[in-house]
Amino acid sequence: MTRSAPVAVIDLPALGSAAVAAGLTVLAAGCWPETDADTAVKPLAGFIESTFSPLLAETAGRALGRRPGPAAPDRVTAIVIATALGDVTSAAHVARAVDLGQRVGPLLFFQSVPNAVAGYLAVRWQLTGPIACVGGLGAGLDIAAALIEDADADEVLVVWVGLGVTEDDGDRAAAVVVTS
Amino acid sequence: MADRPAVAAPRPARSGPGAAVLAGAAVASGYGRGTEALLAGVLSGRPAFSSVRRFDVTARRTGVAATMAGSPALLTEVTTVVGDACDEAGLSAGDRARSPLFLAIHTHPAMARAAAADRPRFSPDAFAAAVAERCGLAGAGLRCYTSACVAASTAIADAAAMISRGRADRVIVAGGYLVEPDQFALFDAGRTLADDGRVRPFSAGRRGLLLGDGVGAVVIETAEQAKARRAPVLARLAGWGRTGDAYHPCQPRPDGHGLARAISAALQRAGLAPGDLGYVNAHGSGTRHSDLAEANALRLALGDAAATTPVSSTKSLHGQVLEASGVVELIVTVLAVGKGMLPVNAGFLGPDDGCRLNLVLGEPLAATPEYAMSLNAAFGGANTALVIGRS
């Protein structure tokens, strides 16, 4: 029933180019991995079993921490997550547990939607703008541009995350903070 | 002004000059398929909850949800409501082929159990593409939203923003959730399901939420497009707002300030004062913290008008339909306003001092409000507010 191509891997140059093509200005950027030292993303308290949320938080944090200059006190930053499969590791873990009649841990409930890690970022970086999660990067950038144009946000954190599909694939993520 | 809001929108919430209208709607819920079944169900005041027979719930703290009969397939149900909404709007094959789909779902139903190497074939976007293909909708511009309980309402707000700016003439927004074992297990693990088998929003003694089947679709387009086809306009999408709490990954900000900003932004876009609202279809999950935060948000944003504006959460009747909440509850709001009967806030046991609102209790309230609002909130502190105006 599906007709889609395999999930594309988005690297930082591709994300930056797509943002500019969407009419946005890139204020800051970050990705995973950035250097050979990026071998294992550090755990994120409250999130288990999957690298999705730690990877997203680490990559987004790199971009947010590189924003230039002091922030205006009333700056509103929106969060847009673009991820083709989302946290497929957690979803598969829950499905296995359900099928085997095993107990599902409560922490898995909290991380069952990408909003949870978006909420973590919002608290950590005091991001008070809208939160959206979509499957495609193009959609995410269009949403970012519209939020800025309509004054729902001054800037938007756009994060792309792709977990490795097989054990041979690495997890990858890229993030930009954009404005008009 | 007596109904001056306590929290103003922090900045001018802008939109384009165009007007967005709803020209078609279709739905399936625990009350069955069709808008008539949903409207009759919510106006009956009898919740659609019953024992879950679709899968084994013996290990769960509760075995109740608002489900349709049998084990419907999400692709079939979403395809059906999208087609029905397009039919109601009188869209030709050519109209449909130019209309993108914004779909709100949790994920592709087959993804979690697919072999690892096959999972890319089962992405949410692939599911949305399959719906679009079956319904003859545009391949370009397709979006799939997975932002939990604000997924569909965010899609509706985004569609309205695009139409107001002239970036689209029409968008089909749909959402779907059918009660299944994985989310049921997760909500049970999170101890959020009401173990007394009832959802009691804003009530003393409320014990949590219950899941429900919900699949809905709306045709959102310019007023000119609808007029050109002489399509019946169900409502105007007058305003929208979305914000974040920046308070906690999973819990709402207790003072309601984040949701209040969304409400204020939606009112501002609609050019309304709080007292102009004649009904609020609340998020009203029935959980302790969320209902308190929402009541605070309504009092902050509406000021004195919060004491008189009728409020109900129809989750007490059709259940929590997760990613589809925004579109199903907007349809409920449009149907209720069109009928001139506001549904009850069911399951109410008695007042909670922290949740004092003008709840619709006992039986539906006869009223013909010019404007009504639908609220949603989600994990991450994400908030949305949608304002409709009578057609």
Q: How distant is the alpha carbon of residue A123 from its chain centre?
A: 15
CA distance B275 to chain A (A): 24
Q: What is the predicted pLDDT for the residue at A170?
A: 87
| Strands B341-342 and B365-366, sheet pairing | antiparallel
CATH number of B20-228: 3.40.47.10
B145: contact with A, CB 8 A cutoff: yes
Q: What is the predicted pLDDT for the residue at B133?
A: 98
Q: Among residues A110, A80, A104, which one has the least CA distance to residue A92?
A: A104
A84-110 pLDDT, tens digit each = 999 999 999 999 999 999 999 999 999
Q: What is the predicted pLDDT for the residue at A4?
A: 42
Stated as kind and residue range, the H or E segment containing A29 is strand A25-32
- From-to residues of CATH 3.40.47.10 in chain B: 20-228, 236-390
Which CATH number, 3.55.10.10, 3.40.47.10, 1.10.1140.10, 3.40.50.300, labels domain A12-179? 3.40.47.10
Mean pLDDT of A125-150: 97
Blockwise average pLDDT, block size 10, chain B, 391 residues: 54 88 98 98 98 96 96 98 98 98 97 94 97 97 97 98 97 98 98 97 98 98 96 97 97 98 97 98 98 98 98 98 98 98 98 97 98 98 98 84
Write out the two tokens for B179.
Answer: 């009660």
Please list every residue in chain B whose beta carbon sits closer than 8 Å to the beta carbon of residue A128: 243-246, 258, 261
Q: Which of residues 81-100 of A touch B (CB under 8 A)?
A: 84-86, 88, 91-92, 94-95, 97-99
Please list every residue in chain B whose beta carbon sits closer than 8 Å to the beta carbon of residue A84: 120, 123-125
Q: What is the predicted pLDDT for the residue at A6?
A: 54
Helix axes A115-125, A52-65, angle to 10 degrees: 30
A131: contact with B, CB 8 A cutoff: yes
Of A3, A4, A122, the CB nearest to B244: A122
The three state secondary structure string of B144-211 is EECCHHHHHHHHHHHHHHHHHCCCCCEEEEEEEECCCHHHHHHHHHCCCECCCCCCCCCECCCCCECE
CATH number of B236-390: 3.40.47.10
pTM greater than 0.95: yes
Which one of B101, B111, B156, B158 makes the best mutation probe of the A interface by having the most chain A beta carbons within 10 Å? B158
Extents of the domains making up chain A: 12-179
Using the beta-carbon criterion (under 8 Å), do B119 and A116 form an inter-chain contact?
Answer: no
- In chain B, whose CA is at the least distance from the CA of A5? B121
